[in-house]
Structure formats: C-alpha cells, structure tokens
Amino acid sequence: MKPYLFGPAFSTLVRSVRLHALERGLDLPCGLAPGGQAIAWRSEAHLALHPFGQVPVLLDGEQRIFETLAICRHLDRQLAPERGGNPEQDAWSSALLTTVDTHLVRRYLLRIAGPRPEPFRTPEEQQRALAAVDATLGVLDRQLGDQRFLCGAEFSLPDALLVPMLDYLEPLPELRWSASWPRLAAYLDRLRARPSGQAILVATDFKLR
C-alpha cells in the first residue's frame, strides 16, 4: 500500500511534508480517509494514530508515524538514505517547527488573520502578534541573505517547512511584508515556481480574507 499522509491538504504542516516528499520523488496523497475510510477529527480512531489528536500522521504499511519532523526523517531514510544529517538544517527545522510556527501560524494566521479568527482577541494582542511576525520575518531574511534557499544553495527540509507559512501570509493586506522583505518575497516566488511548489502550493479550501 502506498504511503498516505493523514491530515487536510490545507494544513501548513501537511503541505510541508508533501513538499519534502515530492522533492524526494514521492507524490504523497493526503486526506482524512485512509483506505477510503473517513476518520472523524479527535475520534478514537484519530487518537489511535496521534495521541494528541493532531496532524500530520504518516501511514506507511504497518507503521504509524506522527509529528512532522519524525515523518520527514522517516521519508529521508526511505527515499534518500545517502543524504546524511546536517546540523544547520536540523537547527532551522527545529526552530521553524517551534518558534517560527508559533509566531507566524498559531498566534497570527490562526488567531488573528485566518478564516476563523479568535473572536475574543484584543487590539493589544493583535499588535503584539503583528510585531512578532515582523521580528520573525526579519530573522528569516537575515538567515536567507543572498542565498537561493534558507540553508544554502540547495532545497532542504527548512524550505519545505517555511514556504507554506509564507504562502499563506503573503496575500494578507495588513502585513504587506513582501515590500518590506523583498528577498523573502523573491524566495517565495522561486519556491512557488518549482514543480513541487506548483503541485502543492495550490488553491485549497483554506480561504483567507
């Protein structure tokens, strides 16, 4: 049975895993119905796949692998075993899945600007979230510098983790970050133009205002 990624196609982390897999040569299907059997969110069946009822989860034969980094490392062992670990890439992968995801996705995109923003947020919280986004983009811009990709001359896991976040943030009118950070904007354009980006970074049912 072909590996299957449990999780909705619009999820930033699901998109990241699929980008990473496609760059390794695997077109990884995703959804909430492995084997054609729908699994309800946070149901017993979902919790059997991920103990905290989250996504993504990779179903690969008899293996059930949860958490994005573990899934991507499993795919690396299967698809590109000749590529050993890289400390810089590992460090940035960790930072992107924790600090960057928190600032860009959890506290801004989902809570402030997404399709179902938190109704009880305050103007002060919104300003703090915007400031954190701006500071985080500044750090990312400095890391990117004049490189083609976040950690050098070649696409790597940090790129797969970052580009879905930027892809969702870019059209938001209140940010207008592409004008402030032209190197990041050009980077996003490059990754959108790659075959993997054209396949994964497409319109979804995750509608931004």
pLDDT at 206: 53
**Residue 37 burial by Cβ neighbours in a 10 Å radius (0-12, 13-18, 19+):** exposed
- Nearest CA among 206, 129, 156 for reference residue 20: 156
- Nearest CA among 56, 59, 87, 54 for reference residue 69: 56
Q: What domains can you pick out in the chain, each with its CATH number?
A: 4-79 (3.40.30.10), 87-200 (1.20.1050.10)
- pLDDT, averaged per 10 consecutive residues of the chain (209 residues), comes to 93 98 96 96 97 97 97 94 85 98 95 80 91 97 98 97 96 86 97 97 58
Q: Which tokens go with 117?
A: 């923003």
Q: Which tokens go with 120?
A: 């009880």
What's the rounded Cα separation, in Å, for the pair 100 and 93?
10
pLDDT tens digits, 160-198: 999 999 999 998 888 888 889 999 999 999 999 999 999
91's enclosing H/E stretch is helix 87-95
What's the one-letter identity of residue 148?
Answer: R
**What residues contact residue 185 under an 8 Å CB cut-off, 6+ apart?**
170, 177, 178, 179
pLDDT at 82: 76
pLDDT at 115: 74
